[in-house]
Amino acid sequence: MKIKKYVAEDMKEGMMRVKKDLGMEAVILHSRPVRRKGLLGFFTPRQVEIIAAVDPTRKQPPVNDNMLKKVAEKDQEISSMAEELKELKGKITEISTVALGSGQDEKVGSGVVTKKKSSAYWRNYLEHHDLDPNLMEEIFSEAEEEAARPGRISHAQMAEILKEKASAKISSINGSSNRTQVFVGPTGVGKTTTLAKVAARYSISEQEKVGLVTIDHYRIGAVDQLRAYSEIMDLPLEVVMNPQDLFKVMMRLEGCDRILVDTAGRATGNNEQLEDLAAYIDMLKPADIYLVISATTRRQDISYITEKFARLNYNRLVLTKLDETNSYGALLNSPYYTKVPLAYLTDGQRVPEDLKQAAEIDVAGMLWRAG
């Protein structure tokens, strides 16, 4: 058995190389995404590593450029068919949606739906996404008032009205006026990874000098995780053990344009831990305090978190782990409960690609597109 490893830009390129090198009988034993080596690899799309094998004792037809061309054409043909099926599915969905909301008459089985039924459909949809009931009533009250105008309204048009009313409930902010930025929140919401993404944005995209500070000396490996990020991005890192050390640390980072502070995740119901964290934050002001919440969090828990962490006077919101849920009510629940602007969304582990500025995104639209 002859086994070889290939690294390519994507699976298609890798397969072409395997077939050309090992022949048409080659089989793929394993494939996985890999990063490029060095600092560049941390901030660029991943490549694909392929382990392929072939039995050298088995006779294979010779591989020539014409055969590879046919393979490529077949792959392209399959891709085109997939795109056509996707487009056809979209058209069928669009036709069905228009048919559902094309009129206002109460006719069973005719494909015609009243505004009342369209409203009921979207209520069920948003309940499925765990939207806060009070927020839902506000949105529907305003939307149904507008939908009551004379004339027909389609199912999709009702969705647009609801989305417009929901968007008005969300405020977002682009950038930060303060030099010091602190990331707080419950355990396991991704504060350290989010901080690294924000640091990379400032350092690479905006060419600012960034300093990192961690007061998370409770969680095993927390300092090591941030140190790894700091070494990759060549950023200074300071570890603080008590609030009194903060003054010296901030003096050492005096030359930095931005100072990003990582904190230990706190048990939401532990007032003593939150008071301990507040003692650090009071020493860092003026600062922007980012409350980090996972999109996987239930609305009751979001309400509880925002109430308890209010002691820290957060003034920004970050919503993480959008790639780990199919229920998007947190997109509206979090800003609704916190009453502060949404700054960032994250939807993956890549640094810094999976960080989005909320001001540049149709946040409410993400909830409706989920359906």
pLDDT tens digits, one per residue of 288-301: 999 999 999 999 99
Q: Which residues pair with 172 in a beta bridge?
A: 342
Q: What is the four-CA torsion angle of 358, 360, 365, 366, rounded to 10 degrees? A: -60
Task: Grade residue 98 by pLDDT with cuts at 50, 70 and 90.
Answer: very low
Residue with tokens 């109430």: 307
Residue with tokens 């090198």: 21
pTM: 0.69
- Describe the strand order of the beta sheet including 47-54 as a list of residue ranges: 2-8, 47-54, 27-34
The residue with greater pLDDT, 336 or 80, is 336
The residue with greater pLDDT, 34 or 81, is 34
Q: What is the pLDDT of residue 20?
A: 86
Contact 211, 240 (CB under 8 A): no
Q: What is the pLDDT of residue 258?
A: 96
CB neighbours of 198 closer than 8 A, spacing ≥ 6?
181, 260, 344, 352, 355
> Rounded CA gap, 79 and 107, in Å?
42
Q: What is the pLDDT of residue 202?
A: 92
What H or E segment, with its residue span, contains residue 362? none
Q: Is residue 97 predicted with pLDDT exceeding 50?
A: no
| C-alpha distance from residue 312 to each of 156, 212, 228, 244 (Å) | 42, 20, 28, 18
Q: Is residue 209 predicted with pLDDT exceeding 70?
A: yes
Task: Grade residue 250 by pLDDT with cuts at 50, 70 and 90.
Answer: very high
State the greatest distance between any 2 C-alpha atoms of the chain, in Å, as a whole number.
78
Q: What is the pLDDT of residue 101?
A: 42
Q: What is the pLDDT of residue 291?
A: 97
Q: Is residue 278 predicted with pLDDT exceeding 50?
A: yes
Q: Is residue 220 predicted with pLDDT exceeding 90?
A: no
Q: Which residues pair with 183 in a beta bridge?
A: 262, 290
Q: What is the pLDDT of residue 66?
A: 66
**Mean pLDDT, to the nearest integer, of 329-347?**
94
Q: Give the type of residue at 328.
A: Y
Question: What is the rounded average pLDDT for all residues in the chain?
Answer: 81
Q: Is residue 100 predicted with pLDDT exceeding 50?
A: no
Q: Is residue 38 predicted with pLDDT exceeding 60?
A: no
What H or E segment, with its residue span, contains residue 112? none
Instruction: Sketch out the chain's domains with CATH numbers.
Output: 2-63 (no CATH), 101-167 (no CATH), 180-369 (3.40.50.300)
**Mean pLDDT, to the nearest integer, of 261-279?**
85
Lowest-confidence segment of 8-12, 13-17, 264-268 by average pLDDT: 264-268
Q: Is the dihedral of CA 156, 162, 164, 166 positive or negative?
A: negative
Question: Could you give the angle at the alpha carbon of 76 between the alpha carbons of 70 and 81, nearest 5°?
Answer: 125
